[in-house]
Amino acid sequence: MAAAIVVALLAVLTSIVLANNDEAQLDKRLDSIVDASMYPEQLRDPSRVVTTGRSRSTGQVMFQRGFQLPPLPPGTATVTVNGVDYRVRTVNVEQSGGILVSIGIRADSILLSRARIPLYVLIVCLAVMVALALGWILAGPAIRPLLKLTEQTRRLGTGHDRLDPVHGSREAEDLSEAMIAMLNRLADAQAATTNSLQAAQDFAANAAHELRTPLTAMRADLDTLRIHDLPPEEREEVVADLSRAQRRVEAIITALGQLASGQLARAEDRETIDVAEMLDRVARENIRSGVGEIIVEADEAGTVWGWPAGLRLAVDNLVRNAITHGEATRIVLRAHRQGPLLAITVDDNGRGLPAEEHRKVLGRFARGSTATAGGSGLGLALVAQQAALHGGTIELSDGPLGGLRAVLTVSTAPEPAAPTGQA
């Protein structure tokens, strides 16, 4: 509408300027005709020029060409003759006692006369109205997606938590994509915050629950040492209990921290993991604990995409469980691909685990019947968490070496699913 108003005003101003300019041009033509009036044969269009000569003293018509012009004083004027406007120039001619010669040219010789301005403005206004209507109609497809996007935005937080892409003009689609990306970032940030709060709550709850027993035992032992004067043998036994309780507290806190870290794993922290190198490092670090031998068979394992520290922690926990709780002296680490998955197998010759406990020990704070004292009960729960984060599973079974077999599978896809806080 603003554009239409500007166009209309511009049309009116232009018409006035053109009219004034054409009138000046008409006067110049009239001057040329006056100069040539004494030589009619030189006029190119004598039919459009009228001439009337009158005696200056009596006003009597001395001669005329075309229609008779009315008596006029010297100068320039516009008169109407037989319904036609003429631009007339009257001059003195010093002959035959003095003659006033009036020479006129039709006013419609100019492109745009003042009489035609209203019609011209009307035509322009009609054209502007047509353009306005067409603009309104053509703007509909561009405005409709924005209206849809606005309506969807209003519904956010009232049972709707996402925007559907809109289609239409390029600008509306770009705005839709930008808003959807912004909402996705906000959702990711909210999910990360929720996971952080949940991890903190889980850590506090589990720590309070699991640390109560060893801390109570430690306090009782400390009271015993403070109050009673124990013989050396009993004193050493109480100190040993304190040392075991301290190690259990330390193991529980460390494991809970590792579980919380797994819950807060971020997709952007994933890296390429060389599986053979990782298994070799786990073997080298655990061979120092006194186990007889650890064999690694992973020449063709290749690489996977994941969290190096988390995956290494999972394999390390399986090896440590075999050494600590299974009392294994021989461990074999194998890695091979199975379609979209990589299987890491840990076999040991330890004392194994009853079949009915193979699933139960994967839960938090679950301990097998063959486990030694002092553990946290979270080692295999950490393995299960990392398996889920890497798009795989953990399964326990009886092993071919006489002990336990643990098969940890992880996805080999370049972009596994982002973590969702599994534990």
Residue 116, pLDDT score: 60
Are 318 and 397 in the same domain? yes
Residue 349, pLDDT score: 92
Say which range, 155-169, 199-213, 315-329, 380-394, has the weakest mean pLDDT.
Answer: 199-213
Q: What is the dihedral of CA 225, 227, 232, 236, to 10 degrees?
A: -20
Are 314 and 418 in the same domain? yes
Are 169 and 303 in the same domain? no
- State the CB neighbour count (10 A cutoff) for residue 208: 9
Last residue of a domain, one of 97, 118, 139: 118
Are 109 and 192 in the same domain? no
Q: Where are the beta strands (DSSP E) in 107-152?
A: none
Are 35 and 99 in the same domain? yes
Q: What is the percent of the chain where pLDDT is above 70?
A: 73
Tens digit of pLDDT for each residue in 233-254? 888 888 888 887 777 677 667 7
Give me the mean pLDDT over the 189-211 stretch. Answer: 67
Q: Is the pLDDT of residue 39 over 50?
A: no
Are 197 and 307 in the same domain? no
Mean pLDDT value across the chain: 77
Task: Report the CATH number at residue 192.
Answer: 1.10.287
In a domain, 307, yes or no: yes
Q: What is the DSSP letter of 129?
A: H
Residue range(s) defining the domain that contains residue 84: 2-118
Pick the more confident residue, 38 or 33.
33
Are 205 and 222 in the same domain? yes
Are 291 and 259 in the same domain? no
Tens digit of pLDDT for each residue in 93-121? 876 668 888 888 887 765 455 556 666 66
Q: What is the pTM of this model?
A: 0.48
Give me the mean pLDDT over the 412-421 stretch. Answer: 56
Residue length of the chain: 423
Q: Is the pLDDT of residue 122 over 60?
A: yes
Are 176 and 228 in the same domain? yes
Give the phi and the psi of residue 89 in degrees, each rounded to 5. -115, 125
Pick the more confident residue, 386 or 372.
386
Token pair, residue 307, equals 């969290």
Are 327 and 406 in the same domain? yes
In a domain, 65, yes or no: yes
Number of domains in the chain: 3
In a domain, 274, yes or no: yes
Using pLDDT thresholds of 50, 70 and 90, give the confidence band for residue 43: very low
Are 273 and 420 in the same domain? yes
Are 323 and 340 in the same domain? yes
